Structure formats: structure tokens, C-alpha cells
Amino acid sequence: MVELDPVVLDVARDYFSFEEDKHLKVHITDGIKFVREMANFETVDVSTPNCSDKNDTDNGSSTEVHADGRSSNKIDVLIIDVDSSDLSSGLTCTASDFVEESLLSTVKNSLSERGLFVINLVSRSLAVEDKVFSRLQTVFSNIFSLQLEEDLNEVIFALKDSPIEEIQFSEACDVLARLLELEKPEWSRSIIDGTKLIKRLR
């Protein structure tokens, strides 16, 4: 998780019982800077240079080991949900800087091989939405959309490379339903119903 303002983290800890653990780490920094650093991060200190493997790390990313011995820290799931302070852009969310084509290319480069990019989009302008979708389609070849019925929010999902077949949606829903029944049965129906609203954009 990346947060620009350390006060927000303090409030989350003091009033919402937020805690970091080995699966969730907060980075106090600029979000765009963080994504660019992750996209450019590489190291050559790899103990098993002739394999192609992935190892979990504690920052929500994976370490990909290439055949030539190089390793790169890549993000498995990147979610951007940033309110815009500049409403002249036509976007309420996400801030326009986060949907510039150059940054979207950086986002793609920061993702692991099967990485997922999720962005919350809120705009009352169809022209602005079309512009954002056009940029996304320039960079990503597998894009899906979830239009929330109760408000203006549209959640966009973009896969780095791996395509998803239609049958995989139903299979994934079945797995998700079983997990939710075990962990959060009270959420199960609404979440499963929500997945049925996801549509392929490209």
C-alpha cells in the first residue's frame, strides 16, 4: 500500500485498528514515484540463476528469476484509487496524472507476468472516460470493466499479458464463492452478484 500523507496512516492505526503484517506493508511516498521505481528495479544477486521461478516477498510483489540470472521485483496486483484535486480534468477519481499513457506503460512494466492492474474511475464526462479507455487500450490488450449500479464508479481491470477465457470467469466465481462461504459468508452473495456485472472491454 502506498500513501503520500503519513497522517492518513496514523489515523488508520489510531481509529480503524489498521495493522501492517507480512502481507501488507505501507510505503509513505508518492504513488507515481513508487510505480516507476518498481518498474525499473532490478538486481543480479540471484542464488539460482538457471530457473524461472517466483518467490513471495513482503511488499505485495513477486521476485521473478530469469534464465540469465537476473531477477526483478514485480507487482502481482496494483490498485489505484486516488481522488483528484483538479476537477478541471473531468475526473473525480482517479487523478489524471495516474492515467497518462506514459504512466500506464510504466504500470504495465511494473507488473509480474500474470499481474493485474485495477483502477477506480469516476467521471461525469463520457468524452473524458473515452479518452481514458483509449489510453488503456493502447497499453493493455486484456481489459474488463465493472460498472457499479448504485453510483458513478467504474472499476477497470487490466491484465499485463495473460488473457482470460469466458469459461475461466465462471470457474473463478465458483472458487471465490467457496472461499467466501468459509471466510465471509455474509459477503458472499453481493460479491458473487457483482462479478456477474464484469464485462470485457477488449
Ordered structural domains, the chain, with CATH:
2-163 (3.40.50.150), 165-202 (no CATH)
Query: pLDDT (tens digit, 9 = 90+) per residue, 153-168?
Result: 889 999 988 777 766 7
Q: Which of 28-32, 71-75, 193-197 has the lowest mean pLDDT?
A: 71-75
Give the whole-number percent of the chain exceeding pLDDT 70: 81
Average confidence (pLDDT) over 136-142: 92
Task: Give alpha helix (H) positions in 22-69.
Answer: 31-40
For the entire predicted model, the pTM comes to: 0.74
Q: Find the Cα–Cα–Cα–Cα dihedral 107, 108, 111, 114, rounded to 10°.
A: 150
User: So what's the pLDDT on residue 93?
Assistant: 86
pLDDT at 105 over 90: yes
Average confidence (pLDDT) over 109-121: 90
User: So what's the pLDDT on residue 166?
Assistant: 66
Task: Give alpha helix (H) positions in the chain.
Answer: 6-16, 31-40, 101-110, 126-139, 166-183, 188-195
Rounded mean pLDDT of the chain?
Answer: 78
